[in-house]
Amino acid sequence: VCTQQEVLPCKSLPETLLFQLLGLSIATISTVTHYGLHFTLISNISLDSNSYSVIHHRAFYFGICLSMTLILAALLSSAATVRESQCLTAMGFFCFALAFCGLVPAACWRYTHSMEVEDSMMDVYDFVYEEVRRNTSSFRRHELMAIHEAFLCCGKHSPFGDTTNVENQTCPPGQVHDEGQDCLREIQDFLKKHMDFVFSLLAIAIGFTVYGMILTSFLWFSMHFSSNLYRKGKYILR
């Protein structure tokens, strides 16, 4: 049960937990993107001329920093509400603003560079597939088999002629290429679903970050003008 003086801290508790949960969600999706089987396979095979490996690592570190900023902003705003500290409130607002400045470019990047990520992943598969087709590397054959097992696909439609031999050697049992399980299409569909989920999470984070900036601004002005629930003032006896 909250007393009158404790109403404001108690009301801030659900918002604090919500922002912390949002930060943990971003950290989780960043970790899954970095250490997930589908992404690590492509990243480990990625060549120096391919940009996917750079994007793969930058996205992880950006997501972790963003999640830490949101969690820190939630903790600062909660502490500022309890202690009624204008300094902590300003720091919380700064963290929310910093997260907002990172979320908006990330959401825009999803639309402007999504094709770049998609093309870089498919280029890696094309390279490995053609290396196996030329029988130039047995190590590449194991990499191609790992991709087929991870994405549950089998080969691709190649313009260089019959590829049945490659598919028979590298496709997992039960995968039939004639059923339309083209690996390039499977990679494209998988990445599109993942990027759509990431964008939805970013949109939610942007909305709550704006709410956090408005909330911390209201708290700062409330404390500054001494209009909080129990007013503090100096009294002089005359």
DSSP conformation letters of 134-165 = TT--HHHHHHHHHHHHHHT------TTS--HH
Task: Please tell me the total number of residues recorded for the chain in this structure.
Answer: 238
DSSP SS3 for 121 = helix
Cα torsion 116, 118, 122, 127 to 10°: value is 30
Stated pTM of the model? 0.79
Interatomic CA distance for residues 57 and 103, integer angstroms: 17
Interatomic CA distance for residues 211 and 207, integer angstroms: 6
DSSP for residue 172:
P
Q: Mean pLDDT score of the chain, rounded to an integer?
A: 80
Q: What average pLDDT does the segment 92-113 reach?
A: 90
Q: What is the pLDDT of residues 157-180, one digit of tens each?
A: 765 555 567 777 778 776 654 554
Q: What average pLDDT does the segment 45-54 reach?
A: 76
Interatomic CA distance for residues 137 and 6, integer angstroms: 69
